Amino acid sequence: MTKTWMVTGTSSGFGKELALQLAQKDDVQLIATARKKSDLDYLDQYNHGQIKKVLVDVSKPEEIKSAAREALAFSKQIDVLVNNAGLGYFSTIEESDMAAVRYMFEVNVFGLAEVTKAFLPQFRQHKSGTIVNISSALALTTLPTMGFYSATKYAVEGYSDTLRKELAPLGIKVLAVEPSGARTNWSGASSQKQVPQIADYAGYQQMVETMDEGVTKSPGDPKLIAKAIIDAVESPDTPAHLPLGEFAYNGGLENLQGLVKEIESHKDISLSTDD
């Protein structure tokens, strides 16, 4: 049976790979979004009427509303919504430019939430479907100079975990994907950087300066990541979380096991505060 997928941020990276793979499937209708129409020209060669291009900046709630109207006019039922659009910001916490941080939250958290909200009524109406939120390995563990980025993705995790509980009785699934570093534009054009100026943080200078290079050389392959996401959605046992890559798996496990150990070590204090 044909399923309709809607993917945000399909101009590059994971979103573009998802769109490319979905565009070539016989049983998929695709709604691909971007901020610039020409960024979606690459889809033309696959389009035989099953692809709809929609322009939306996810930091603009009015654009999201009209994008949702356009999407639902193309297909009455959206089966899979992939909230992929996002950006990074690299700086120590103390030196972060709060205007840039707020904008990142607008896109990575509130944009994702507004897009989801625009489609929840139709998911509830059909009592089926999957919402995929692209989170990050940096929502399972943390690294210096990526604190506010992690904060946006930890927010996506808390949001997704709650939404999953609210929607499970209605037959709607929520999948949070936690990719490790992958070769996309994320650390380049999609991000801002602030090289540490405070001498106490000099040890992190190189980390921020070489961020682009680091991600270009990341082991994460967007093609394999897109395939893993599609496979997880199509599986009858769609997981709640999909950590992808060695850093997400090992780094995530190490951090979460440390957290469990720490919580257990304070058990007496924790249980002493209820009267």
Residue 21: CB minimum distance to ligand NAP, A:
14
**Catalytic status, residue 154:** no
β pairing state of 173-179 and 241-244? parallel
Q: Does 58 bind ligand NAP (CB under 6 A)?
A: yes
Rounded CA separation 231/237 (Å): 10
Instruction: Please give the residues from 192 up to 231 whose contact with ligand NAP meets the rule CB under 6 A.
Output: 215, 218, 220
Q: Does 160 bind ligand NAP (CB under 6 A)?
A: no
φ and ψ at residue 11, rounded to 5 degrees: -75, -25
Q: Does 59 bind ligand NAP (CB under 6 A)?
A: yes
Q: Does 186 bind ligand NAP (CB under 6 A)?
A: yes
> Which is nearest to 76 in space by CA: 123, 33, 23, 8?
123
Radius of gyration of the chain (CA): 19
- Which of 28, 104, 172, 182 binds ligand NAP (CB under 6 A)? It is 182
- CA dist 80 → 40, 85, 263, 264 (Å): 19, 15, 36, 38
Q: Does 151 bind ligand NAP (CB under 6 A)?
A: no
Across the strands, what pairs with 191?
88
Looking at 46, 89, 149, 249, which residue is catalytic? 149
For the annotated catalytic residues, the residue numbers are 149
Binding site for ligand NAP (CB under 6 A): 9, 11-15, 34-35, 39, 57-59, 84-87, 107, 134, 136, 179, 181-182, 184-186, 190, 215, 218, 220
